[in-house]
Structure formats: structure tokens, C-alpha cells
């Protein structure tokens, strides 16, 4: 069967004639290339152009042979092709394509044989590559071993520093507990000093004085509060330092844990061999760079952690020394102030006791004077009563003698003596009565003095009861030095 027409892969139809030009004129514009035929798609063959040959039939719209264009137009025009046969023409190749394909296959086979022969003959290259591979693998093993040594060194350094930091944290916890116990121990003597001040407010009268005891008690209260505040502030600073130490501890533990994980992984990599079962291909891993440090920064990270831990330990040591010095200093100050207050109490008690004894002596003398004054008053009263009868007798005699008649009313010696006796007895009575009033006034003064002395003695007794029994009774004991420095808690 003969097909009419031509395929789209053909470059021309019919016998090709030369146009007499070896090259195109330079003035001619670049020809516009277009396909000679538009494909006609049959039902079910819509995409046949997807497998048509690569050599397309292209026709230039520029006429290079103007003389022969008219005479060959009828010869170049392909005959009409039926639509049903047009799809079969897409698979046609030219002889030139066929020759090029064969030559290409031959040249490819020859090149493949030459290449294979060169590779099969180059055994030295294989040996060199094997040796290079072994050397690289051995070098990698050495590098992994060195890396494991570095990790082990830093692990030991981190472990040693972590152990020392843990010991320091334990010491800091102990010092903090001691400070808290010492601050709690101050509460008891502080309460005692405040109770003494409250009891001394119950003193009466003139004994409610701002004496040396009260000054020492106020000084003791202020000192105890100041000591307690200093201890608590230092305990807070130590607590902050403990938190910093724990942060440093967590950093060391995290670094140590990372080092252990890296050591486990590197040991696993170091123990891998060509005959290991767990090896496999991981293509593209050499192109993935997930590292975040270099050996210098890696070592610097652990070194910085260790240096930071050393700085934290140095700060902790300074705080512990400060706490020891503070506890000793405050303990000495509290003991000294406690002793001074007790000495002031003893001196004040001695003064009050001496004044009380003197008052008691004066009271005894006053009572004796009162007794003597009462006796004198009794004697004076008796004497006055005894003088009344002689006065009555003398006055009665004078009254009787006034009834003498006439010239018998003579101012004789008896009359003169009676008048003189009456004046003398009356003067004596006046003197005795004056003396009686004076004695009574003295007795009243002595009674008032007695009342004042008794009141003062009651005041002094109350003061002695407060200072000696109540205050000194509470101040018989004071926290010992081990308690004040926090070694033991109540």
C-alpha cells in the first residue's frame, strides 16, 4: 500500500534542487520557521505529537531561489493526505537520522569498551583508594579516641568541681541553719530584757527613775534586735548564694550529662567496624551540618562553667567566713552587754538595799522619838493636872480673903504670897501647856515622818522585789556561746 503525501519530519518533498547559493545573503533577515502542517487529532489520538520524531519539517518563508519558485511550486506542494492516514506518518525518520543514530550507538559502545578496559586495567588506583580509605578510617578512629580522651578529661574536671560545689552547698546550708538558730536563740534574752523593762515600769514614786539599769536594758534590747537583724540579713544573703550555687550545680550537671551522652555516642562510633551489624547507609548526612560549636568554644564552655563554679565557691567561702566572724562578734557583744546589765542591776540593788537599811534605821529612831514624845506628853499632862489643884487652892484662898470686912482687907504678906503663888502657878501652867503643844507638834511631825519612812520603805521593798526577785530571777541564765553561734537549737 502506498501512502500519499509526506510526513512532518521530512525536510522537503520530492527531488531537492540546489538554488545556486552556497550561503545565504547577509542582508536577508532571519527566516521565520513554522511547521508545514498542523496535526489533525483523531479521536483517541489526541496526544500523538508527544512521541513524534525530534526532527521537524520546517519551511522558510523567505524565497532563496526566486527564479525557480514558480516552476517548482506545484512539485513542492504535497499531495492531499487523508485524515485517517495522517497519524501513521508521525513515526517516520529520515535516512540521515538513521545513519546518525547508528553512528552514535557505535561510538558509544566503543567508548564504553575503552572506559571499561581502562578501569579493569587500573588495579593500582583501586589499591591506592583502598589504602586511602583505611588511612582515613584509622585517622577517624584516632580522632575519636582523642575526642574521648578530651571528653574524659573534662568529665573528670566537671565531676571534681561538682563534688566540691556540692560540699560547699552543704556547708552553706549548715551556716544558714546556724544563723537561723542563733537568731531564734536571741528571742529568749530579748524577751527577758523586755520583761525586765515592763516590770521596772511598775516601780513607784521616786524609784521610777531612768537609772543606769534602765539605760543598760534599753541598750541590751537594741543590741539584741540589731544582732538578730544582722543574722537574718546574712542568712538571706546566704540563701541567695545557695540559689546561685544550685544554678551553677545544674549547669555543671547538665554539662556533665551532655558529656556522658557524647562519650557514649563517640564510644559507640569508635567501636564501629566494617564488620559491625549496626552500620547502614545514610545518604546526604555529610552535607548536613548541625554542629553549634567548635573545639575551642566546646572547651571554653566547660571551662567557663568550671570558672563560674569556682567563683561561686569563692563567694560562698567569703560568706561563710563573714558568718563565722559575725557570730563570734555578736556573741561577745551580747555576753558583754548581758554582763554589764547584770552588774548595773547588782549595783542598783545594793544602792536600794543600802537606802532601805538607812530608812529602816531612821524609822527605828523615829519610833523611839515618838515613844519618848508620847511619854513627855503624858508627863506634861500629868504635871499640868497636878498644878491645877495648887492653883485652885491659891485662888480659893484669895477669893476667901476678899470677903474680909473693912479694914481687914489688908495687903499683908499672906496676900502678897498668895498673889505671887497664883501668878507663879499660872505661869508654870502656861509654860507646861506650851511645852505640851510643842511636844504634841513634834509628835505629829514624828508620826508624819514615820509614815513617809514607811512609805519609802514600801517603795524600796517594791523596787527590790522587782529588781532582785523578778528581774534577776529571770536573768539567772543566758544562752551559752554554742547556742549563740548556732551550733545547737532550742
- Domain-by-domain residue ranges, the chain? 352-403+412-485
Cα gap 364→353, rounded to integer Å: 16
Amino acid 489: pLDDT: 59
Q: How many CB atoms lie within 10 A of CB 211?
A: 18
Instruction: Report the distance separating Cα 346 and Cα 121, nearest Å.
Output: 119
pLDDT higher than threshold 60 for residue 123: yes
- The pLDDT score that the predictor gives to residue 6 is 41
Residue pair 45/84 in contact (Cβ under 8 Å)? The answer is no
Neighbours of 242 (CB within 10 A): 20
pLDDT tens, position by position, 173-227:
999 999 998 888 888 889 999 999 999 999 988 888 898 999 999 999 999 999 9
What does the radius of gyration of the chain's CA atoms come to, in whole angstroms? 69
How many CB atoms are closer than 10 A to CB 243?
Answer: 10
| Helices vs. strands in the chain: H and E counts, helices first | 8, 2
pLDDT tops 90 at residue 127: no
**What would the mean pLDDT of 393-405 be, rounded to a whole number?**
85
Percentage of the chain modeled with pLDDT above 90: 48
Q: What pLDDT shows up at residue 404? A: 83
Tally Cβ neighbours within 10 Å of residue 65.
13
User: Band of the pLDDT at 450, cuts 50, 70, 90?
Assistant: very high
pLDDT digits (tens, 9 = 90+) for 299-333: 999 999 999 999 999 999 999 999 999 999 998 99
| More confident position, 23 or 249 | 249
269 closest CA partner among 144, 92, 110: 144
The strand pairing partners of 60, in sequence order, are: 33
pLDDT score of 406: 82
Residue 28 — very low, low, confident or very high, per pLDDT cuts 50/70/90?
A: very low
Rounded CA-CA distance 197/13 in Å is 135
Q: What is the mean pLDDT of residues 348-354?
A: 93
State the burial class of residue 353 (Cβ atoms within 10 Å of its Cβ: 0-12, 13-18, 19+): middle
**Which has more confidence, 301 or 87?**
301
Higher pLDDT, 472 or 124: 472
Q: Which whole-number Å values give the CA distances from 149 to 265, 370, 390, 435, in the listed order? A: 14, 110, 140, 122
More confident residue, 481 or 202: 202
Higher pLDDT, 348 or 476: 348
Residue 131 CB burial class (10 angstroms; 0-12, 13-18, ≥19): exposed
The total of other beta-carbon atoms located within 10 Å of residue 168's CB is: 22
pTM, to two decimals: 0.62
Closest to 450 in 3D by CA, of 376, 374, 377: 374
Average pLDDT of the chain, as a whole number:
81
The H or E element that residue 400 is part of is helix 295-401
The answer to whether 37 and 58 have CB atoms below 8 angstroms apart is: no
CA distances from 342 to 198, 349, 469 (A): 17, 10, 13
Residue 485: is its pLDDT beyond 50?
yes
b (16+ CB within 10 A) / e for 260-291: eebbeebeeebeeeeeeeeeeeeeeeeeeeee
What's residue 76's pLDDT?
Answer: 47
Q: Which residues pair with 34 in a beta bridge?
A: 59
pLDDT band for position 276 (cuts 50, 70, 90): confident
Q: Residue 146: its pLDDT value, please? A: 94
For the segment 389-411, the average pLDDT, to the nearest whole number, is: 84
Tell how far CA 245 is from the center of its chain.
Answer: 10
C-alpha triplet 351, 357, 362: angle, nearest 5°: 125
Give how far Cα 121 sits from Cα of 108, 116, 125, 190, Å.
20, 8, 9, 103
Q: How confident is the model at residue 142 (pLDDT cuts 50, 70, 90)?
A: very high
* Three-state secondary-structure class, residue 42: strand
Amino acid at each position: 500500500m502506498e501512502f500519499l503525501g509526506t510526513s512532518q519530519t521530512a525536510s522537503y518533498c520530492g527531488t531537492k534542487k540546489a538554488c545556486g547559493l552556497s550561503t545565504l545573503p547577509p542582508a536577508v533577515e532571519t527566516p521565520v520557521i513554522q511547521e508545514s502542517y498542523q496535526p489533525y487529532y483523531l479521536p483517541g489520538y489526541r496526544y500523538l505529537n508527544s512521541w513524534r520524531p525530534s526532527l521537524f519539517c520546517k519551511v522558510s518563508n523567505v524565497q532563496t531561489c526566486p527564479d525557480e519558485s514558480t516552476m517548482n511550486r506545484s512539485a513542492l506542494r504535497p499531495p492531499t493526505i487523508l485524515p485517517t492516514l495522517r497519524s501513521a506518518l508521525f513515526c517516520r525518520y529520515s535516512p540521515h537520522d538513521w545513519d546518525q543514530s547508528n553512528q552514535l550507538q557505535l561510538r558509544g559502545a566503543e567508548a564504553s569498551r575503552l572506559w571499561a578496559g581502562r578501569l579493569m586495567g587500573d588495579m593500582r588506583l583501586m589499591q591506592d583508594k583502598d589504602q586511602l580509605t583505611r588511612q582515613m578510617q584509622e585517622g577517624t578512629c584516632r580522632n575519636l579516641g582523642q575526642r574521648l580522651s578530651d571528653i574524659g578529661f573534662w568529665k573528670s574536671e566537671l565531676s571534681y568541681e561538682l563534688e566540691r560545689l556540692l560540699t560547699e552547698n552543704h556547708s552553706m546550708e549548715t551556716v544558714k541553719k546556724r544563723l537561723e538558730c542563733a537568731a531564734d536563740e536571741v528571742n529568749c534574752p530579748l524577751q527577758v530584757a523586755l520583761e525586765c523593762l515592763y516590770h521596772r515600769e511598775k516601780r513607784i514614786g521616786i524609784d521610777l527613775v531612768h537609772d543606769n539599769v534602765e539605760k543598760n536594758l534599753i541598750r541590751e534590747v537594741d543590741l539584741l534586735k540589731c544582732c538578730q537583724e544582722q543574722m537574718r540579713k546574712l542568712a538571706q544573703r546566704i540563701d541567695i548564694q545557695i540559689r546561685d550555687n544550685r544554678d551553677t550545680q545544674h549547669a555543671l550537671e547538665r554539662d556533665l550529662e551532655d558529656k556522658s551522652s557524647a562519650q557514649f555516642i563517640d564510644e559507640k562510633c569508635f567501636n564501629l567496624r566494617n564488620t559491625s551489624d549496626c552500620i547502614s547507609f545514610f545518604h546526604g548526612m555529610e552535607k548536613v551540618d548541625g554542629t553549634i560549636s567548635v573545639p575551642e568554644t566546646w572547651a571554653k564552655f566547660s571551662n567557663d562553667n568550671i570558672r563560674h563554679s569556682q567563683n561561686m565557691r569563692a563567694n560562698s567561702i567569703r560568706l561563710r567566713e563573714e558568718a563565722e566572724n559575725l557570730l563570734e562578734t555578736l556573741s561577745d557583744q551580747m555576753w558583754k552587754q548581758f554582763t554589764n546589765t547584770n552588774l548595773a542591776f547588782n549595783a542598783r540593788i545594793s544602792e536600794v538595799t543600802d537606802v532601805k537599811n538607812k530608812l529602816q534605821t531612821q524609822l527605828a529612831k523615829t519610833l523611839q522619838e515618838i515613844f519618848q514624845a508620847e511619854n513627855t506628853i503624858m508627863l506634861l499632862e500629868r504635871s499640868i493636872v497636878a498644878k491645877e489643884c495648887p492653883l485652885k487652892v491659891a485662888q480659893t484662898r484669895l477669893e476667901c480673903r476678899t470677903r474680909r470686912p473693912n479694914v481687914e482687907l489688908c495687903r499683908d504678906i499672906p496676900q502678897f504670897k498668895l498673889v505671887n503663888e497664883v501668878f507663879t502657878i499660872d505661869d508654870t501652867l502656861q509654860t507646861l501647856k506650851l511645852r505640851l503643844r510643842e511636844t504634841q507638834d513634834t509628835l505629829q511631825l514624828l508620826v508624819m515622818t514615820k509614815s513617809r519612812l514607811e512609805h519609802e520603805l514600801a517603795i524600796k521593798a517594791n523596787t527590790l522585789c522587782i529588781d532582785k526577785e523578778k528581774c534577776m530571777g529571770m536573768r539567772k541564765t543566758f544562752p551559752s556561746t554554742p547556742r549563740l553561734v548556732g551550733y545547737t537549737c532550742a
